[in-house]
Amino acid sequence: MSDPYERNLTNRGFYHSKPDIRGRVVVVLQGTLEERELHLIKPISRVFPAGTIIELIGTDEPAAAPGGTVNKIAYIAFVELLDGGVLVAGDAVELKGMPAGTIAGFDDTHMPNHQNTILRTAGRTPGAELGLVPGDAVLIRGIFS
């Protein structure tokens, strides 16, 4: 069986529209690393049922993208997804109603326990320094042109 991602047949253009996905912070994280070596998987999307918990990790590396490696990171939060749906690289993420970044890709290091979801952010600010607290609102918006 041929993988369409390995053959570069699939891209963000296949996604026409989708609803926003609501979430809530369940654990606030702190800390940064310079050499994390996250290996973003080639697929640009992941499907999650309602109630799934994902980990949000921020990076300011401009080249962070599916199939790449990310080293400089900030730990943001574990988030429970209140709605089931599809997360796609490029989706915008809001924390407490404020823009936080866009999804750069996904890392499978801790699967099946949880999916690392890497955000391209303006800086590398951990969740504790962002002032997050458990219960804070998270919104993931599919931005399509």
Q: What are the pLDDT tens digits along the chain (145 aa)?
A: 666 666 666 676 778 889 999 999 999 999 999 999 999 999 999 999 999 999 999 999 999 999 999 999 999 999 999 999 999 999 999 999 999 999 999 999 998 989 999 999 999 999 999 999 999 999 999 876 5
Q: Which domain holds residue 45?
A: 20-141
Task: Report how many domains make up the chain.
Answer: 1
| 133: DSSP letter | -
Residue 1 forms part of a structural domain: no
Residue 28 forms part of a structural domain: yes
Residue 13 forms part of a structural domain: no
Residue 11 forms part of a structural domain: no
Q: Dihedral of the CA atoms 9, 70, 39, 127 (nearest 10)?
A: -110
